[in-house]
Amino acid sequence: MTQPLKVGVLGYRFMGKAHANAMARLPMFFPDAPAIERHTLVGRDEEALAEAAERFGFAHTATDWRDAIDEVDVFYNLGPNHVHAEPSIAALEAGVPVLCEKPLAPTLDEAAAMRDAAAAADVPAGTAFNYRFVPAIRYAKGLIEDGELGEIRQVRGRYLQDWLVDPEAPWAWRMDADMAGSGALGDLGAHTVDLAGFLVGDEVGGIDRLSGHLQTFVDERPVPDGDGDSGEGGDSGEGGDGGGDVDDRAVEEYRDVTVDDAYSAQVAYESGATGTFEGTRFATGHKNDHAIEVHGSKGSLKFSLERLNELEVLREGDRGFQTVLVTDETDPYVDHWWPPGHVIGWEHTFVHESYEFLSAVAEGGEFSPSFAEGYAVQEVLDAIERSDERGEWVSVE
């Protein structure tokens, strides 16, 4: 009998919890998935790490990621963006497959180094764009591939959150350019750019040129006493949870916000199709509102993450949009979960993602989205920043 794959995970906050949950669900719902052992959890704060390892079912902990890479068969890099490149490259050089959170890196150069390390390794290197694994998104891609929408003319994507509306919401690594790279652009826009490319890229080609705009609304934020940790997985602000309120904690300092709070971009595809993308952490009342629409010569579709079991589709001849409930035989994962109509949620996207990634690892296959695909997204993010700086349309290099 083959030995379970020993999995090492860097990061134990929001994404650590999402992926650990996925690993725990796998053997119960995906018995054909490779057997895994939740082996080593990596972080800097020993006490918090030990508590997380206990809760997430990891047998070992390490405060240095190098120790984990020596011990494991698979490495999940779920740390803040500035710790994506070095550990991921080291793992790949040691022949250890890597699944890394998005965006691939804070800078295009680091992302290029990661892409090159992946190309030189003969193990899978995946970028964790989990929204590709929403069944409704797979269904939408099938419709587009089958020509149901005709010639694709427009794509529209937006990702709206509101966890920074309060100017006193605490500072976190996601607001620091050195650690995060960019703000709403990299954190939210990376998802939208990837999803648009996944859905329509084969039909409309790459993005030829674009016009980007970035805005920061609040320039500095309070750092609660002892908080604002930039450590490996030990961050204070994993997105939606925002690190909580500072009212009941002593505020020692205010720290600069050096990234965008919101971005928007207008894109021109090689085919002549156009697109608009926008992302913000300031959309009052929108918690995790990721939506994408595609318009073609024969039909259109609309997807919203907040109603992820559904897809709104208008086919040629329809007088209005039909809501398709994607929990039937059109869902590639439905047999693994509940009978049709028994809806699934956000956390299931991580289970599907791990199932595909670990299967690729065990079978020596390819995993998509790869580091090369993560790099392609990063090129678009970089172009949006360049366009904003120059105040003009730019090419995507």
Binding mask 221-260 for ligand SOE (x = CB under 6 A): -----------------xxx--------------------
| Count of residues interacting with ligand SOE (CB under 6 A) | 9
Q: Minimum Å distance from CB 17 to ligand SOE? A: 11
Q: Are 153 and 273 in contact (CB under 8 A)?
A: yes
Q: Are 372 and 125 in contact (CB under 8 A)?
A: no
Distance CA 368, CA 193 (A): 15
* 81-120: contacts with ligand SOE (CB under 6 A): none
Figure out which of the listed residues 73, 187, 260, 278 binds ligand SOE, where binding follows CB under 6 A: 187
Radius of gyration of the chain (CA): 21
Distance CA 223, CA 251 (A): 6
Distance CA 348, CA 262 (A): 28
Nearer to ligand SOE, 300 or 309 (CB): 309
Q: Minimum Å distance from CB 180 to ligand SOE? A: 10
**124 belongs to the binding site for ligand SOE (CB under 6 A):** no
Nearer to ligand SOE, 188 or 200 (CB): 188
Q: Minimum Å distance from CB 308 to ligand SOE? A: 12
Q: Which residue lies nearest ligand SOE, judged by its C-beta?
A: 239
Give the amino acid at 285. G
Q: Which DSSP helix (H) or strand (E) runs through 10?
A: strand 5-10
Nearer to ligand SOE, 228 or 296 (CB): 228
Q: Minimum Å distance from CB 279 to ligand SOE? A: 9
Neighbours of 93 (CB within 10 A): 12
Binding mask 258-297 for ligand SOE (x = CB under 6 A): ------------------------------x---------
Burial (CB < 10 A; 0-12, 13-18, 19+), residue 104, is buried
Tokens standing for residue 356: 């595909």
Tokens standing for residue 68: 């984990």
Q: Minimum Å distance from CB 240 to ligand SOE? A: 5
Nearer to ligand SOE, 21 or 63 (CB): 21
Tell me the window of 34-42, 137-145, 150-158, 184-192 that interacts with ligand SOE (CB under 6 A). Answer: 184-192
Q: Minimum Å distance from CB 191 to ligand SOE? A: 6
**135 belongs to the binding site for ligand SOE (CB under 6 A):** no
Q: Are 100 and 127 in contact (CB under 8 A)?
A: yes
Tokens standing for residue 84: 């994506």
Q: Minimum Å distance from CB 346 to ligand SOE? A: 8
* 2-41: contacts with ligand SOE (CB under 6 A): 14
**161 belongs to the binding site for ligand SOE (CB under 6 A):** yes
The DSSP result for 284-339, as a single string, is TT-SSEEEEEEEESS-EEEEEGGGTTEEEEE-TT-SS-EEEE--STTSTTGGGSSS
Q: Minimum Å distance from CB 236 to ligand SOE? A: 13
Nearer to ligand SOE, 192 or 309 (CB): 192
Q: Minimum Å distance from CB 187 to ligand SOE? A: 5
8 beta partners = 40, 75
Distance CA 192, CA 271 (A): 19
Tell me the window of 87-95, 183-191, 253-261, 353-361 that interacts with ligand SOE (CB under 6 A). Answer: 183-191
Identify each DSSP E strand in 203-261 by its residue range: 207-215, 220-224, 251-256
Q: Are 236 and 48 in contact (CB under 8 A)?
A: no
Which residues would be at the binding site for ligand SOE (CB under 6 A)?
A: 14, 161, 187-188, 191, 238-240, 288
